[in-house]
Amino acid sequence: MQKFINSIHDGEEISYDYHFLNTTNPTLVFLHGWCCNKSFWEYQVAHFSGDYNIINIDMVGHGESKSASRKEWSLDILALDVLSVLQNENAKKVVLVGHSMADNVMLYLVKHKDIDIKGIIGIDNFYQVAEPVSEELRKEVITYFEKDYLGGLKETVLGWFVDPEKDARLVNDIYNQMKVIPEEMSRAIGIYTLNDISYRHLKNSNIPIRIIACTKWTDDRATKLFNMFNDLEIRDMIPKSGHFPMIDTTQEFNDILQNVISEIEQAVIA
């Protein structure tokens, strides 16, 4: 069921899909990445909606949540969009499943103690905990996108795939969806994804955090994460998995995600 509500931040309209089973089941909340939208989770919604309550959100400015007047963009503001939905549905036993930039969005949500969050599952993210972006690299990335935004976006998408030629159709589909996001908004949010300010909250969270790391570039970053925070359990994705395992290695991804969700259920969800 598609629903629309207004953000508690500025009244902008938010589109989300809600699949309700019953109040005793955990609620999986799917959060998309930078310049993406809720359609990126369509295979997971189809797979998990028979056993779990599902909330799948287009944060403002993305997908069907068109922005009418928002001028300020940041990850904590996007978190307020998500909070608006969770409060509207009075969501219980929430397990957040967030891709890419949603790592920071999820950590901002943890600060809101009135939300019943039982677990966080990061999909190919949280790496900056182990390897913060240097100021030099941050400036380099900003300059790169200022010179040629669409060119930089296309190169970024290509770099997310193990074999972009083999996956050319998927590469183009993702690029075409991402490029419709207004450049000003995209660049503003993109800059926030280079920050690591909210990662300090990771240590202070009593909520189980699991990470599904994609094998294209995990090298030793996942290991560093595990060593820094031994309460994290990191699950490497199948070999040759790029940045969008929910789309390009769907069945394998769903199996691993199910295992991680089940572990969180057994550990903390009564």
Q: Cβ of 162: how many Cβ atoms within 10 Å?
A: 17
Q: Look at residue 229 in the predicted model and tell me its pLDDT.
A: 65
pTM: 0.93
Q: What amino acid occupies position 41?
A: W
**3-state SS, one letter per residue, for 48-94:** HCCCCEEEEEECCCCCCCCCCCCCCCCHHHHHHHHHHHHHHHCCCCE
Q: Look at residue 2 in the predicted model and tell me its pLDDT.
A: 96
Domain boundaries, the chain: 2-131+197-268
Q: Look at residue 237 in the predicted model and tell me its pLDDT.
A: 65
Which stretches of the chain score pLDDT less than 50? none
Q: Look at residue 77 in the predicted model and tell me its pLDDT.
A: 96
Q: Look at residue 24 in the predicted model and tell me its pLDDT.
A: 84
Q: Reduced to 3 states, what is the DSSP secondary structure of residue 189?
A: helix
Strands 2-6 and 13-19: antiparallel
**What confidence tens digit (pLDDT) does each residue in 86-103 have?**
999 999 999 999 999 999
* CATH annotation of 2-131+197-268: 3.40.50.1820
Q: Cβ of 254: how many Cβ atoms within 10 Å?
A: 17
Q: Look at residue 112 in the predicted model and tell me its pLDDT.
A: 84
